[in-house]
Amino acid sequence: MKQTFDRNTFSRGLLMMALGASLVACSPNESAESNPAAVEASTASAIEPASPVPPAAEVAQGNDEFAVTGAWVRAAPPGAMMLAGYFTLNKRQGGTRRLVGARSDAFGDVSIHRSFVEDGVSKMRPAGALDVNPDESLVFEPGGLHLMLMSPKVDVSKGQRLPIWLCFEDGDDIEEIEIEFEVRAEAGGEGNAG
Ligand SMILES: [Cu+2]
């Protein structure tokens, strides 16, 4: 199977950095107001790492344990039988859990794939179960991990929202978490003409 390969890796990396920075920025700095020097230092450090990326107004989906941001499906021409979904998954609390699959009534089949380049040709294969570790982002992005979405049963044109369930190992059970994916031309979303 062939696919077009696009390199958003750099900008996605910046986004991850920004997400990381925003998490750190949540802790209040109580000493800043009473100490002018501290204000200056904290302002400088707050601006520097975040500046390449506009502030993400995006609300995380998921539950108390898993946070999912940037969930989107790449828009495809009418009649396309193969689409791809992307998102960033973070562990909010608790230890390592395994992402074992995904499913959706909107598609005939959903699986987790990983793209790679071999002899200059972009290929992909099933990724198997993936560990989700605390303090680590599991990033599904063009050219890397993706949800392989086969045989759409619903309208998958731009602007549509599709429910996809992420399946996590939970002892002998599977815990399923519903995530809403937006169909977009490219990552970035609102205001991005693509
Ligand atoms: Cu694939």
Q: How far is the CA of 152 from the centre of ligand 1 (A)?
A: 14
First to last CA, the chain: 25
Q: Which residue has 């990983």 as its token pair?
A: 114
Rg (CA), the chain: 19
Q: How far is the CA of 148 from the centre of ligand 1 (A)?
A: 5
Q: How far is the CA of 72 from the centre of ligand 1 (A)?
A: 15
Angle between helix axes 36-50 and 9-24 (nearest 10 degrees) is 150
In this structure, is residue 145 part of a structural domain? yes
Q: What is the CATH number of the domain that holds 161?
A: 2.60.40.1890
In this structure, is residue 189 part of a structural domain? no
| Total domains, the chain | 1
Task: Note whether 139 and 187 are within 8 A (CB).
Answer: no
| Tens-digit pLDDT profile for residues 104-142 | 999 999 999 999 999 999 999 999 999 999 988 999 999
Q: How far is the CA of 26 from the centre of ligand 1 (A)?
A: 36
Q: How far is the CA of 153 from the centre of ligand 1 (A)?
A: 18
Q: How far is the CA of 149 from the centre of ligand 1 (A)?
A: 8
Average pLDDT of the chain, as a whole number: 78
In this structure, is residue 4 part of a structural domain? no
In this structure, is residue 88 part of a structural domain? yes
Instruction: Provide the phi-psi class of 84: left if phi over 0, else alpha when psi is between -120 and 50, else beta.
Output: beta
In this structure, is residue 105 part of a structural domain? yes
Where does the pLDDT of residue 78 fall: very low under 50, low under 70, confident under 90, or very high at 90 and above? confident
Residue 69 CA, distance from chain mean position: 5
Q: What is the pLDDT of residue 93?
A: 93
Mean pLDDT of 145-149: 98
The SS3 call for residue 63 is coil
In this structure, is residue 26 part of a structural domain? no
Q: Which residue has 């499913």 as its token pair?
A: 103
The verdict on pTM exceeding 0.75 is no
Residue range(s) defining the domain that contains residue 70 = 60-184
Q: How far is the CA of 145 from the centre of ligand 1 (A)?
A: 8
Tokens of 190: 């609102």
Q: Is the pLDDT of residue 77 over 70?
A: yes
175-181: long-range contacts (C-beta < 8 A, 24 or more apart)?
A: 176/103, 177/62, 177/63, 177/66, 177/68, 179/61, 179/62, 179/68, 179/71, 179/87, 180/61, 180/71, 181/71, 181/72, 181/73, 181/85, 181/87
Q: How far is the CA of 132 from the centre of ligand 1 (A)?
A: 20
Residues less than 5 Å from ion ligand 1, measured at CB: 113, 124, 148
Q: How far is the CA of 126 from the centre of ligand 1 (A)?
A: 7
In this structure, is residue 176 part of a structural domain? yes
